[in-house]
Structure 1
């Protein structure tokens, strides 16, 4: 990005020092940075010692053939053993591993580590009986129920790489993933619950299996959990019930140790169109990276903490910080099936109050949706058990950070704003809660043992106060190894942009503020070029959210004959604002907000158009689909909406364009 980018125009002067008691007892102290810098491989070897290895490694890192890394070369390990068996063997079998909360209020179940071990062993035996062997791929397409976690660990136990497909994806998307990794077995359920009603899953698997068969790939077996009791079509040659196979299997199973570089899972990052991009993660390095970062970033005390990550296991956050990281650390965690506001708006806060959650990790889009509702509901709940809050998925606006810290955290809890990706496998940039002062909106610094930099077009690091491209300058244990079946695509996608420097290009823009702290500016694709100025959508969105009327915003660049691109903003108002101003904010709202952006950033960032909308187009994981908003802004036919949580939102936004106010 040019030096004229907006990345040096927003400033943040608020600071929150770590609480003294947390700092004194923190798992990781300030000296970790120097230790990791002095001996990176020694640092990661020490982190690896926290796990149980069947055979220790001969070499920490093989970077002889970049960008193809090998970590803990010669080591042998089993991920499932590290997540369950070793805790039971250490006498912690009675500790609750999972507090499961179903969407229907009456549904709840606790699983101890001993019980989880038995269930994983039974599932491993059942998968083996179904013909799954080491190296075979298993697709998992399930709601947020314990059997989903059990299935993942059972696959890891027998060395069968899994690919978990988010339950909101279509049959076509599921089929493309099944075909790409040639899945032998699919694990699913009859359905799950969504906003009070059973939502079918098995029919999509049936359709995906038919699509795959036409393409020449036959799924051999479908293992089905009975969750909702819905009627499903049944093929006796292929379909088997979980309760007939897993529940009746032996709970005795001896895990086999696999090479550290044995494939653990494939996670697909593309949507429903185009060739899916299967990110391959292997066992040893991934488990070291996720367990260590979960321990350091969340300051986990497994004897006393109750941890809750609100992600779905269909995304990388669920893999790394619901399944493998927390369970490898012996954590007690919450697993929740439903949505944040059903059957009532305070459902999440009820769960925190009931289970006395101490660590809570969620996405900024969820935080902003609660901001829209106001603080009355969370204020009525007892959230005093919380001692640490986390943010993941996209940059968090400073005002959303402050609201999260003050309203949910009672003004006393540190917020760890984490940056990482499907490809990185583990958190790479984040405050350390016992070391780093919190700065609203900033992910702060790379974690110990991680190399990250902001560079210009030539790959040269930019000075403080400037923006550019975020790159990773050295290998890290949980890094992706390749794109499944396509090494060249892996090289071209992630390593070609800064080949000469040997940097991994994350695809994100970032800035260094005056202190050298890092601010993520969103995908480079979301940067606009207005009259030759490179503007970050993230910073304009943050400026809008800093206005007391605004709960959430999304900004896109639309083609403009005069300026090349112009700023178009979509805004959701807070409920208290709509009570005062009306649902659409009333006449003059666009000028008020536009002037606010001008004051906060400068005249170049002033939106050409501001639309007040009831909701933004989001996937079920909470990602805002800005390409659809660009379609509306440029008066094009709206593109594919199949991955949206609510596809009708685009109809409302398109209809509302006629009454939007241009400024």
Structure 2
């Protein structure tokens, strides 16, 4: 189909308020907005001021009232336990009402904050919706997060209640959540009166008398009582949730999401960008502790009447690199959304796509990648193996939905590998130099968004308006600073090359780590890679590349390292000063799959570093340190 993108983007540009007012018509409002956009409200304006609605009502109740109560809303699939369950919209409504009744019974009401510290189980999704139903503000903290980080989020949010589980599951082990929660509660200055604990049979927790309440027992009592909790009307500009970003030192940074604008943006995006229709199955492979989980496991699919998949497992190892395709085939997934890291892992374990060929997926129509830069080699591999469009797109925790994408629902644009494509309606993306001047096409610079931000983006940080201004709005007046570096080509396509912190200044030349990683990834033996800038007394910084090889590569690693160095020299030139490539077994990553380049850089520079709270496996940093010491680089840990 011919793309409607140009017309749709032009329609937004010519009448931004009218565009979003029309998009909002597909949702239910208890009271219409007095003003679609109030420029003088809040830090940088607010959307749908004066309107009243309820996010849970729009996710669940309105579908049931429209006669879709028997349609599947949530599919739970856990390779960790073998459990598979389906929940209709009617089932979800019943569970959410029961949990909402429990929350009210514990004194939680409109505006109160509730911390969720949960694994990927349906009860986590239902608890988020229950908070939204009664107007409480949820703050999901990734399950297994360190106790001091959990404590800081309890304190910053001023949480009245914590909902947790006895454990989360990783391949070969159960991660006990309750001891981490107990330690966090002892460290926190704010002391929530109660904790609801979902007991999992894989590891049952000891409950503290007077504070801890068995989740299933409490919910079952309300369910059997026929709890019928109505949705609480909330202002469109009232907060729906707080999501703390991955900064692990100092005061947590709580991204606030409002109710009205958030609903409108996500509802619009699932159709226009991801091409989904009511009743189809959408699968975002993430965790509810991250923004992808909030936006595209929970809220966007249910707002759009689409079936969502809740997955407890890994792309490889649960049990193998065919897990994704088994789920896509078994549950008739139309569109899959995953991190590039997941596909690099799948490609490493299944380079010829044998697992993909083992499953029939005639209904599967697109793969979306986001969360970290999608290198062209991984994109091309996925295209070859799947035979469907593979769509890179770019956004942030702060925006809550895609800034730049190739919109499947509007008709795909030509693909440019390495680019997430073009700005979506609502976003005016520009490239500025460090002095704030527009950069010419093709020139690397600071990626910024012209204000105002569209619906769905953060209106501020939790209890920190001035910090919000300082972090995002001050450096480039009139713009939101993304802290990403990139360029826009002559055709208007954006290329994100690195975080601005990852731009290497080598003898006065600004070099992109992303560009170098692209070249490293072209080597036929390289499965994934990372390039960081390390200190150099002469040039300021020089690049250092870390390479993970594909399985069953038996060649000498020194030869591969030398070939990668030559590739960089041939493709980018001597200006890159790329002389060091190191083969390692694994790259250190967060649990959401982002490579911890900043920590690797500190290890290489021999400066003090702190163990990241979100790291998936701390032992990998020891491996990186050992590999660096062999090459004469330092390693100092706090």
What TM-score does the superposition give when structure 1 sets the normalisation length?
0.91
Shift of 1:77: 0.5
8 Å contact 1:415–1:438 — kept in the other structure?
no
> Which of 431, 453, 459 is 1:481 aligned to?
459
> Which of 36, 45, 55 is 1:79 aligned to?
55
> Which of 382, 388, 405 is 1:404 aligned to?
382
Shift of 1:280: 1.0
8 Å contact 1:74–1:259 — kept in the other structure?
yes
Mapping for residues 444-483 of structure 1, pairs under 5 Å: 444-474=421-451, 475-483=453-461
Give yes or no for the alignment of 1:593 onto 2:569: no
2:40 is paired with a residue whose SS is strand
How far apart, in 2, do the equivalents of 1:587 and 1:543 lie? 18
8 Å contact 2:114–2:163 — kept in the other structure?
yes
How far apart, in 2, do the equivalents of 1:330 and 1:149 lie? 15
2:417 is paired with a residue whose SS is coil
> Which of 425, 441, 451 is 2:400 aligned to?
425
Give yes or no for the alignment of 1:226 onto 2:199: yes
How far apart, in 1, do the equivalents of 2:474 and 2:67 lie? 49
Name the structure 2 match of 1:605. 576
Name the structure 2 match of 1:52. 28
Give yes or no for the alignment of 1:253 onto 2:229: yes
In the TM superposition, what whole-angstrom CA distance separates every residue of 1:501-538 from its partner, at most 9, and x where no partner exists?
Answer: x1111111111123221001121011110111101111
8 Å contact 1:612–1:660 — kept in the other structure?
no
In the TM superposition, what whole-angstrom CA distance separates every residue of 1:441-487 from its partner, at most 9, and x where no partner exists?
Answer: 10111112321111222323222221211111132101211111111
> Which of 198, 204, 209 is 2:185 aligned to?
209
> Which of 492, 507, 525 is 1:516 aligned to?
492
In the TM superposition, what whole-angstrom CA distance separates every residue of 1:248-270 from its partner, at most 9, and x where no partner exists?
Answer: 21341211211111111111013
More contact order relative to length (CA 8 Å, sep ≥ 6): 1
Shift of 1:613: 0.5
Q: Which runs of 5+ in 2 are unaligned?
A: 634-638
C-alpha spacing 1:47/1:355, structure 2 compared with 1 (3 Å): same
2:586 is paired with a residue whose SS is coil
Give yes or no for the alignment of 1:326 onto 2:297: no
Name the structure 2 match of 1:162. 138
C-alpha spacing 1:649/1:127, structure 2 compared with 1 (3 Å): same
8 Å contact 1:139–1:178 — kept in the other structure?
yes
Mapping for residues 264-663 of structure 1, pairs under 5 Å: 264-303=240-279, 305-341=280-316, 342-373=318-349, 374=351, 375-407=353-385, 409-410=386-387, 413-433=388-408, 434-474=411-451, 475-499=453-477, 502-576=478-552, 578=553, 580-581=554-555, 585-636=556-607, 639-659=610-630
Shift of 1:384: 3.4
How far apart, in 2, do the equivalents of 1:66 and 1:205 lie? 34
Structure 1's consecutive aligned runs of 4 or more residues displaced over 4 angstroms after TM superposition are: 658-662
8 Å contact 1:364–1:392 — kept in the other structure?
yes
Give yes or no for the alignment of 1:131 onto 2:131: no
8 Å contact 1:594–1:606 — kept in the other structure?
no
How far apart, in 1, do the equivalents of 2:566 and 2:603 lie? 23
8 Å contact 1:265–1:280 — kept in the other structure?
yes
Name the structure 1 match of 2:123. 147
Deviates more, 1:269-278 or 1:620-629: 269-278
Shift of 1:637: 5.5
Q: Which runs of 5+ in 1 are unaligned?
A: 1-22
Shift of 1:190: 0.8
8 Å contact 2:604–2:625 — kept in the other structure?
no
How far apart, in 2, do the equivalents of 1:641 and 1:651 lie? 13
- Count of equivalent residues: 624
How far apart, in 1, do the equivalents of 2:74 and 2:447 lie? 36
Shift of 1:435: 3.6
8 Å contact 1:173–1:271 — kept in the other structure?
no
Name the structure 2 match of 1:16. none
Give yes or no for the alignment of 1:243 onto 2:221: no
